[in-house]
Amino acid sequence: MTESTLINHIKTLVNLSEKEVSEIALFFDFHSYKKKETLLLADKRCDRLFFVQNGCLQLYFIDNLGNQKTSQFAIENWWLTDFLAFQSQKQSNFYIETVENSKIASISFSKYQELLDKFPKMEKYFRTIYQTAYGAALMRIKYINSFSKEEIFLKFRDNFPEFVQRVPQYLLASFLGLTPEYLSEIKRK
């Protein structure tokens, strides 16, 4: 997989010349990771923004009881990082780990700043990405506060069937605020 997946995604939101495509691609690093590799550690400075070309990532934290709690997933064409820590260049409160073998494009904070300075149209691209992510986060909060646990799963399953198929049940349960046993019970119904 080359940078074309990332560039194609950018082109869905902003127009790029061939010269811009070549220059923009140079700001990113491209790597393949195996399942369960850690890309970001909690308590370490968050210096990278990740784009999933292929595969799946999860963002999680460890609660006071030592339990892993998944906050977000990212699949193809989604961005993921601890956005507050990335923006402020502080220590992260989260871990990012691969759920599947994954091909990831990433950009460091300094390169991100250079990219935005050199290509102002990328501000529009990232603004659109962040607005969509924020809207999705608001909907998740609404679901958590408006629906039963079973209804939350059913709505999630209907809206994101690819996650239900791809993500291990214990991670999906963590993300939805359920126990794996209760999720199994709901699925059996």
Among 63-67, 107-111, 178-182, where is mean pLDDT lowest?
A: 178-182
Among 72-76, 176-180, 185-189, where is mean pLDDT lowest?
A: 185-189
Cα distances from 147 to residues 3, 151, 156, 160, in angstroms, run 40, 6, 11, 17
Per-residue pLDDT tens over the stretch 25-63: 999 999 999 999 999 999 999 999 999 999 999 999 999
What pLDDT does 1 receive? Answer: 41
What pLDDT does 117 receive? Answer: 97
What pLDDT does 2 receive? Answer: 56
Per-residue pLDDT tens over the stretch 72-84: 999 999 999 999 9
- Give the CA radius of gyration of the chain: 17
Global model pTM greater than 0.85: yes
Q: What is the rounded CA–CA span in Å between residue 54 and residue 44? A: 25
Pair 30, 103: CB distance under 8 Å = yes
60 half-sphere exposure, CB direction, 13 A CA radius: 22
Residue pointed to by tokens 């799963």 = 153
**Token pair of 43, please?**
């308590």
The residues near 182 (Cβ < 8 Å, ≥ 6 apart) are 149, 173
What pLDDT does 144 receive? Answer: 87
Is residue 176 pLDDT above 50, yes or no?
A: yes
